[in-house]
Structure 1
Amino acid sequence: MRLESVSVRYHRRGPWVLRDATARVDPGEVAVVLGRNGAGKSTLLQVAAGVLRPTRGRVVDRPRQVGWVPERFPADQPFPVAYYLTAMARVAGLSAAEADRAVDEWTSRLGIAAFRGVRLPDLSKGTAQKVGLAQAMLRLPGLLVLDEPWEGLDAAARDLVPLVVDEVLAAGGRVLVSDHRNETVRLPGARHWTVADGTVTERAAEEPAELAVIEVAVPAARVAGTVARLRAAGHQVLRVRADGPVPDLGSTGDGGGGADDSGCPRQPAAGDAARADGLTGSADGASR
């Protein structure tokens, strides 16, 4: 799939958000879209997914089946989760039986089976994002476009995202993903599209760097903040081992104690001891 001289502006006399953007991603490849907030990453992804028509230029060889997950799932639709997903599966061309199987599979894999009867507006942001990811995967897409897919997800769902990407790539599909949390270190071998000043610079995939695994022991009260800072610095946390309960590390990036699916903050129990072990690092021993 190629973007050929794509330019976008939202108003006739408005500024150009993208100017003559040219990039490509081939079957079995993933491209990570990088850039500061407001640089035009989401605009680029919408054009690639076919959600937004470019003002100039074109997208060539876009796969027929596209899975699109926006940064914020539009959950203001008055449908229960299962009803919505089943309807989307039928729109994607699945039979009634296939739709039922796909909805069962993805609500189970994403841990939202208990919310099948809940209306979309009543979901937390994290659960709504899972519904968005589920609808994109009901029928295996030839192009999967993920705009900040890890945002708001719990740890288990975040770990599932690379597996979903691998499934699409293994079937010969393409994946585009943006991320400001440095979670894309989980996607080795990706191409990189950097958006800046309305232009897109592409560099080919790099061979994954050699990594080392180290162990770090921290007080339990500092586990969430330590893990958040490591992730923000681009390091991958493999697991956390504790002598007692440990705060959820799923969706926070601010060094806080995390939050459950309802948005209630979690706090570590007093006196807990935890080891953030299995933190990966570069071969020279820098902590990850």
Structure 2
Amino acid sequence: MRLSNVSFAYRRRAPAVLRDVDADLAPGDVIEVVGANGAGKSTLLRLLAGITRPTHGTVTDRPRVVGFAPDRFPVDQPFTVTQYLTHISRIRGNPAWRPWATRLGLDDLLDVRLAELSKGSAHKVGLVQALMPDPGLLILDEPFAGLDADTRAQLPAIITAARTRGAIVILSDHQGGLDDLPSVRHWSLHGGHLKESAPSATSEPSGPPTKVVHVTVPATEVDAFLTRMRQAGYEAQEAEEGQP
């Protein structure tokens, strides 16, 4: 994925929020975007997601499936949590959302209307709808803000699992939620310009040895099984026809 000479202004003749941004993104990248309030972080994330189009320049080779969680989830919708997530799942080809809702602590709120949720609970709904399709590009705007400690603790593992399966993960974060995650690229915005500093580490942390395990499941259960394994932090993929 590439940004080439990307600039953006909200109105004609208005000062540009972003100026001449160039960047290359590769599968497995985790990128943290920082900057002062009003520096253009959310604007950049929306451009990357394809929600907003650049005033000048291009964004090319965006992964086909994009998951985007805004910093403020729009609760002014006439749905319960279940109704909303079921609706989004149908739009996105029926990926499983209930395992994500369980993992992020939403099981007791499934029958609550969106407008009645706390900010933190609404934010969880936004995360679930972004995560459910196993996106190739996952964009999270302030994902740690307003979350309870248990849910905050889940996010680094979720981001690591997305990275392991080759997704690009981009997020803004004022909470320091990625401080212990290695090899994070850091983008900073100042005066509309993007600068990149060195990654937080150059190699993945050492850990227990791993093994490849082949599991046979009924064909009708493959998608659900892969979703559960990935949500648990494992690398899981369907074998090609004829492979053991």
TM-score range, shorter chain: 0.7 to 0.9
- Paired residue type of 1:157: T
Residues 10-36 of structure 1 show CA distances to partners (whole Å, capped at 9, x for unaligned) of 000111000001112210110110111
Q: Match of 2:137?
A: 143
Report the Cα offset of residue 208 of structure 1: 6.1
Structure 2: distance between partners of 1:184 and 1:40: 20
- Of 195, 211, 232, 1:201 maps to 195
1:129 match? 123
Any conservation in 1 of the 2:5–2:20 contact (CA below 8 Å)?
Answer: yes
Structure showing greater radius of gyration is 1
Q: Counterpart of 1:186 in 2: which secondary structure?
A: coil
Which of the numbers 186, 192, 203 marks the counterpart of 2:186? 192
- Between the aligned partners of 2:180 and 2:113, the Cα distance in structure 1 is 32
Distance 1:126 1:75 in 2: 12
Secondary structure of 2:59's match?
strand
C-alpha distance in 1 between matches for 2:189 and 2:60: 20
TM-score calculated relative to the size of structure 2? 0.80
State how far apart, in whole Å, the 1-side matches of 2:115 and 2:66 are: 25
State the identity as a percent: 50
TM-score (norm 1): 0.68
Tell me which residue corresponds to 2:219.
none
Counterpart amino acid of 2:73?
Answer: F
Structure with greater strand percent? 1
Of stretches 195-204 and 13-22 in structure 1, the one that deviates more from structure 2 is 195-204
1:187 Cα offset (Å): 2.5
Q: Secondary structure at the match of 2:179?
A: helix
Runs of at least 5 residues in structure 1 that lack an aligned partner in the other structure: 210-288
Runs of 4+ in 1 over 3 A off after TM superposition: none
Question: 1:27-62, CA deviations, whole angstroms, 9 ceiling, x for partnerless residues?
Answer: 011011011111111111110011111101111110
Amino acid at match of 1:201: K
Deviation at 1:2, TM superposition (A): 1.1
Q: Which residue pairs with 2:61 in the alignment?
A: 61
Contact 2:156 2:177 in 1 (8 A): no
Alignment of 1:240-251 (within 5 A): none
Summarize the alignment of residues 95-244 of structure 1 with structure 2, pairs less than 5 Å apart: 99=95, 102-207=96-201
Deviations 1:201-245 (CA, angstroms, capped at 9, x unpaired):
123424269xxxxxxxxxxxxxxxxxxxxxxxxxxxxxxxxxxxx
On the 8 A contact 1:189/1:206 being kept in 2, the answer is yes
Q: SS at 2:12's partner residue?
A: coil
Instruction: State the partner residue of 1:39.
Output: 39
**Deviations along 1:141-175, whole A, 9 cap, x unmatched?**
00000111000000011111111111211111100
AA paired with 1:49? A
Shift of 1:186: 3.2
Distance 2:65 2:198 in 1: 25
**Paired position in structure 2 for 1:20:** 20
How many residues are treated as equivalent by the alignment?
204
> How big is the shift at 1:93?
1.4
Quick one: distance in 1 between partners of 2:24 and 2:187?
A: 9
